[in-house]
Structure 1
Amino acid sequence: MAAPGAQAAMELLGRISRLDQPFEELRALRVALQALPPAALREQGPNFPLAGLFALMARGDSNEQISLCVSILERFLQVMDPLYIIQNFGEELQKGLFHPDDSVKILTISQVGRIVEDSDAVREILNTPELLRQVIYCIAAEKIAVAKEAIKSLSRVAETPEGLEALLAGNLLVDLKNIMAKSDIIRYRVYELVIDISSVSVDSLNYCVNSGLITELIGELTGNDVLLRATCVEMVTSLAHSHHGRQYLAQQGIIDQISNIIIGADSDPFSDFYLPGFVKFFGNLAIVDSPQQICERYPAFVEKVFGMAEGHDPTLFGVAVDTLAILGSNVEGKLVLQKMGSRFQRVLNRIGHQAKNAPTELRVRCLDAISSLLYLPPDQQTEDLLGMTESWFSHLSSQPLELFRSISTQPFPDLHCGALRVFTAIANQPWAQKMMVVSPGFVEYVVDRSVEPDKASKEAKYELVKALANSKTIAAIFGNQHYLRLRAYLREGPYYVKAVSTTAVEGAE
């Protein structure tokens, strides 16, 4: 027997299918469903007569009616078995993909995405090529949310061998290529889908290569259109995140081609359009592979990063700072930068200067880069590495601690938190602790809660306190009194507010 709430929902569904304008019933049904636990919906799912709702949604007499139907169907469908949905509502889903309202398309495509994740239900989808064909055409939808949902669902289709075969080795591949011809934007969306699929496995990548779509993408990356280069390099960077993707790019000579384009950029007046993306490509390659190997094999990349960091173009300087932060985020990368000697020291000084004087957005990027460069995990703090980070800190400014202290007191949350992150990065290093404890008022500033006006600032300060309090050397360097204050702050949490007692004094006005 159905629960009372489920019974009420069934009665409302029965009434809705007999009425021309069932607005009140739809509103009541939405409220009733919100009160029903998912378990009750799941148990009674097959008993609910949803045909009337689908018909109302398809008819689309008004935006409100469509919106109510979408909201209600979403609640029903998300708890139903995917195989049941495709077997009983396959035709309705297909009609939904032709609906003029984008919310109906998104609902439908998201259900296709659920269905293809079910090993039994996916066969039903693959046996309905017209449904998949229409999802492919949704990639070309004007509304980006519809296109994104279509890309996500088709990526899921390709996670099975049968799906890969259907999508990239049959008639559906023709449909993909047809929509690519509509515009540059739609072509890039298809490339995005192909890169998503390629990243899953070697087999997935092979299917994408054999389809010819990866070759087309690489052709645009290494072609003469500078704007196309800039767009395509982001997608190729995503492909390089997987080991098999990097292997493919290396074997095909594509990484060497990108390096050669960087070398030739000096003589290209339009290189500013694509150079940031190409430099970021190598930065990402270094962090997922080996910073030392990448920098040794592609010296043009390192030279270009330093050239951008030393130049006067603020956009290129920002990209260089971000890339140095990525390179220096692990010990191997830090050692590569250390080998640059005085040249890197001068760049550090420039980063420190910009952290103080540049526009806010670039200042924040500089602060985040400094945090990345200076952080050393506790288990990697050798004497040589600690000496290196201390030296780097000293090259940021003539008085670096005071520089970041002054930034941390500014009333701009992004800068304030950025400076706190710098302190947090060095907080577990003994040389920094010694510097902090002798700086007048610094420890008092750290434990002063009143200077943190917002949630983000309170959390950033708490991370600093935690890094200090959990350091093995802090008690010896800060002394017991300061150490106990840090432990108390840590114990009380980031949002603690001290209670203020108000005691009435006799005779007081």
Structure 2
Amino acid sequence: MAAPPGVEAALQLLGRISRTEEPFEELRALKVALQALPPAALRERGPDFPLAGLFALMGRGDSSEQISLCVVILERFLQVIDPLYVIQHFGEELQKGLFHPDDAVKILTISQVGRIVEDPDAVREILNTPELLRQVIYCIAAEKIAVAKEAIKALSRVAEAPEGLEVLLVGNLLVDLKKVMAKSDIVRYRVYELVIGISSVSADSLNYCVNSGLISELIAELTGNDVLVRATCIETVTALAHTHHGRQYLAQQGVIDKISNIIIGADTDPFSGFYLPGFVKFFGNLVIVDSPQQICERYPAFVEKVFGMAEGQDPTLFGVGVDTLGILGSNLEGKLVLQKKGSRFLSLLNRIGHQAKNAPTELRIRCLDAISSLLYLPPDQQTEDLLVLTESWFSSLASHPLELFRSISTQPFPDLHCGALRVFTAIANQPWAQRLMIASPGFVEYVVDRSVEPDKASKEAKYELVKALAGSKTVAEIFGNQHYLRLRAYLREGPYYVKAVSTTAVEGAE
């Protein structure tokens, strides 16, 4: 099949580049020509592009501009070539690219390795080229974080194939991984990130990682005495807890119990502020993916610490405590756990309401988000008892909570404005809240007033509030037909509707 005219012109430029001593103009022209071509046109032309001259130019690296142009052009060509063809015909060039001093070349090369290992036919070629994989492993230690991230991503893809797991985590490449870890603390945590990412894929992947000994090393650091290391490691271990098989492993190894015991001992540790937020977030993540009631009953130290943080004076710990309460109370089971705390939780709600009004902006937003999470009840859970519960929680936030959030919603700070609207949206489908709204002078007029929403986020937040109200089965009866019809009209017009203004001229008017 003949190539389209644009492709032929690009190929002529490509051929000319390798024969020119100063190829800048040709490189610039080729870059422009390729940007104008759809990838499909190049793909139709076939894979046998004469790229050797480009690879040589990039490797020679006469200037950063030349290297940059070569990278952009090669990326365009390589992305349309079958991965198997790339590794079979350019494997040596890719290997050289991993040693190149320019980070852009390394990123291009590693991204191609990532493409190749996703192809079931091409991955075998990579696995039979251990030197290439070894150099990708050493790129985890790159100074530029973008190179390290690309290497981690590519190696994670290698491990998605069963034979890739074997090659990477058994034998010589495992030795290389451990050598890389020894370069610095930062690089060691990057390798842990890679290993936990691989472990999260399946129980088999986790077994390989456990047998490599790397997860045991991570857990030993997590439960060791270095508070800064603890703070770093807990985030990585939390990622493992997102999967069922990961949580099973952590429970069987007693890791969750150890984390709970460290939280208990934090009261007597003057340095606990470094790691405590991460440890509490770990349990907060368990609550999201597991049974809140079981987690709180088995690890009461977690709940006690969350309350203590939210009741304390440290703004950092207060923020984590409030975030975690919002997570815990986001579903029915968690709400019932909090309800058992009785007056202590109601007092805490009053403090959260006070902070939503008076704290620094970032903390106010977190309070508003937690309040929204705590107060929301899906329609199918709106029993009489639960509606009484959310109404009592709302009333505990302030002496006049509806007016509190209305005052926040009129402030000229989009994040606070939207946060208050999310609180209204959370309670909008509950009859007690609708009665409060209709009893508040001008509230419904505020809801349907588009002029008070200055930006896209605010318009969308207001629309969500209107949608929640208009979709409620009780709103027509409580608000009355006229207000209900205004809500339906707003909903029908969408979030960005602007009313047309008539400019008809009247004869004789000045």
TM-score past 0.5 threshold: yes
Q: How does 1:77-476 map to 2 (within 5 A)?
A: 77-476=78-477
| Cα-to-partner distance string for 1:416-464 (whole Å, 9 max, x where unaligned) | 0100111111111111111111110000001101101111111111111
Rounded Cα–Cα distance in structure 1 between residues aligned with 2:377 and 2:228: 39
| Cα-to-partner distance string for 1:286-306 (whole Å, 9 max, x where unaligned) | 110100000000001111111
| Cα-to-partner distance string for 1:73-100 (whole Å, 9 max, x where unaligned) | 1111112111011001101111111111
> Secondary structure at the residue paired with 1:47?
coil
Rounded Cα–Cα distance in structure 1 between residues aligned with 2:466 and 2:74: 49
Contact 1:137-1:179 at 8 Å conserved across structures: yes
| Cα-to-partner distance string for 1:194-213 (whole Å, 9 max, x where unaligned) | 00000001111111111110
Rounded Cα–Cα distance in structure 1 between residues aligned with 2:73 and 2:478: 62
- Which amino acid in structure 1 is aligned with residue 466 of structure 2? V
Q: TM-score, normalised by structure 2?
A: 0.99
Rounded Cα–Cα distance in structure 2 between residues aligned with 1:22 and 1:149: 30
| Cα-to-partner distance string for 1:304-326 (whole Å, 9 max, x where unaligned) | 11111111111111000010011
State the shift of 1:47 in Å: 3.0
Contact 2:47-2:82 at 8 Å conserved across structures: no
Rounded Cα–Cα distance in structure 1 between residues aligned with 2:208 and 2:7: 47
- Which amino acid in structure 2 is aligned with residue 469 of structure 1? A
State the shift of 1:506 in Å: 2.3
Rounded Cα–Cα distance in structure 2 between residues aligned with 1:67 and 1:499: 50
Rounded Cα–Cα distance in structure 1 between residues aligned with 2:138 and 2:22: 32
Rounded Cα–Cα distance in structure 2 between residues aligned with 1:330 and 1:41: 52
Contact 1:229-1:274 at 8 Å conserved across structures: yes
> Secondary structure at the residue paired with 2:141?
coil
State the shift of 1:128 in Å: 0.4
| Cα-to-partner distance string for 1:39-71 (whole Å, 9 max, x where unaligned) | 211121413211111111111111111111111
Which deviates more from structure 2 when the two are superposed, residues 179-188 or residues 74-83?
Answer: 74-83
> Secondary structure at the residue paired with 1:397?
coil
Rounded Cα–Cα distance in structure 2 between residues aligned with 1:453 and 1:251: 53
State the shift of 1:164 in Å: 0.5
> Secondary structure at the residue paired with 2:47?
helix
Rounded Cα–Cα distance in structure 1 between residues aligned with 2:27 and 2:325: 57
Q: How does 1:67-86 map to 2 (within 5 A)?
A: 67-86=68-87
- Which amino acid in structure 2 is aligned with residue 67 of structure 1? S
| Cα-to-partner distance string for 1:359-415 (whole Å, 9 max, x where unaligned) | 000000000000111111112211111111111100001100000000000001110
Rounded Cα–Cα distance in structure 2 between residues aligned with 1:224 and 1:415: 40
Partner of 1:24: 25
State the shift of 1:505 in Å: 2.1
State the shift of 1:252 in Å: 0.4
Rounded Cα–Cα distance in structure 2 between residues aligned with 1:356 and 1:383: 30
Partner of 2:5: 4
State the shift of 1:9 in Å: 1.1
Over 4 Å off, 4+ runs: none
Partner of 2:490: 489
> Secondary structure at the residue paired with 2:385?
helix
State the shift of 1:508 in Å: 2.3
Partner of 1:507: 508
- Which amino acid in structure 2 is aligned with residue 85 of structure 1? V
Q: Report the count of equivalent residues.
A: 509
Rounded Cα–Cα distance in structure 2 between residues aligned with 1:45 and 1:471: 58
| Cα-to-partner distance string for 1:121-172 (whole Å, 9 max, x where unaligned) | 0000000000000000000000000000100100000011111011111100
Which deviates more from structure 2 when the two are superposed, residues 222-231 or residues 34-43?
Answer: 34-43
Rounded Cα–Cα distance in structure 2 between residues aligned with 1:438 and 1:20: 81
Q: TM-score, normalised by structure 1?
A: 0.99
State the shift of 1:507 in Å: 2.5
- Which amino acid in structure 2 is aligned with residue 440 of structure 1? P
Partner of 2:35: 34
Contact 2:459-2:495 at 8 Å conserved across structures: yes
| Cα-to-partner distance string for 1:99-136 (whole Å, 9 max, x where unaligned) | 11111111111110110011100000000000000000
- Which amino acid in structure 1 is aligned with residue 308 of structure 2? G
Rounded Cα–Cα distance in structure 2 between residues aligned with 1:302 and 1:367: 21
Contact 2:195-2:215 at 8 Å conserved across structures: yes
Contact 2:263-2:302 at 8 Å conserved across structures: yes
Rounded Cα–Cα distance in structure 2 between residues aligned with 1:451 and 1:297: 48
> Secondary structure at the residue paired with 2:341?
coil
State the shift of 1:21 in Å: 2.0
Which deviates more from structure 2 when the two are superposed, residues 29-38 or residues 440-449?
Answer: 29-38
Task: Give % identity.
Answer: 88
- Note if 1:44 corresponds to 2:48: no
Contact 1:324-1:369 at 8 Å conserved across structures: yes
Contact 1:321-1:365 at 8 Å conserved across structures: yes
Contact 1:286-1:327 at 8 Å conserved across structures: yes
Which deviates more from structure 2 when the two are superposed, residues 374-383 or residues 359-368?
Answer: 374-383
Contact 1:364-1:418 at 8 Å conserved across structures: yes
Rounded Cα–Cα distance in structure 2 between residues aligned with 1:239 and 1:276: 18
> Secondary structure at the residue paired with 2:388?
helix
State the shift of 1:469 in Å: 1.1
Rounded Cα–Cα distance in structure 2 between residues aligned with 1:29 and 1:430: 66
| Cα-to-partner distance string for 1:264-305 (whole Å, 9 max, x where unaligned) | 111111111101111110111111010000000000111111
Rounded Cα–Cα distance in structure 2 between residues aligned with 1:79 and 1:347: 59
- Which amino acid in structure 2 is aligned with residue 171 of structure 1? N
Rounded Cα–Cα distance in structure 1 between residues aligned with 2:363 and 2:421: 16
> Secondary structure at the residue paired with 1:262?
helix
- Which amino acid in structure 2 is aligned with residue 313 of structure 1? D
State the shift of 1:247 in Å: 0.2
Which deviates more from structure 2 when the two are superposed, residues 484-493 or residues 269-278?
Answer: 484-493
Which deviates more from structure 2 when the two are superposed, residues 426-435 or residues 248-257?
Answer: 426-435
Contact 1:45-1:76 at 8 Å conserved across structures: no
- Which amino acid in structure 2 is aligned with residue 268 of structure 1? D
Rounded Cα–Cα distance in structure 1 between residues aligned with 2:46 and 2:129: 24
Rounded Cα–Cα distance in structure 1 between residues aligned with 2:82 and 2:175: 32
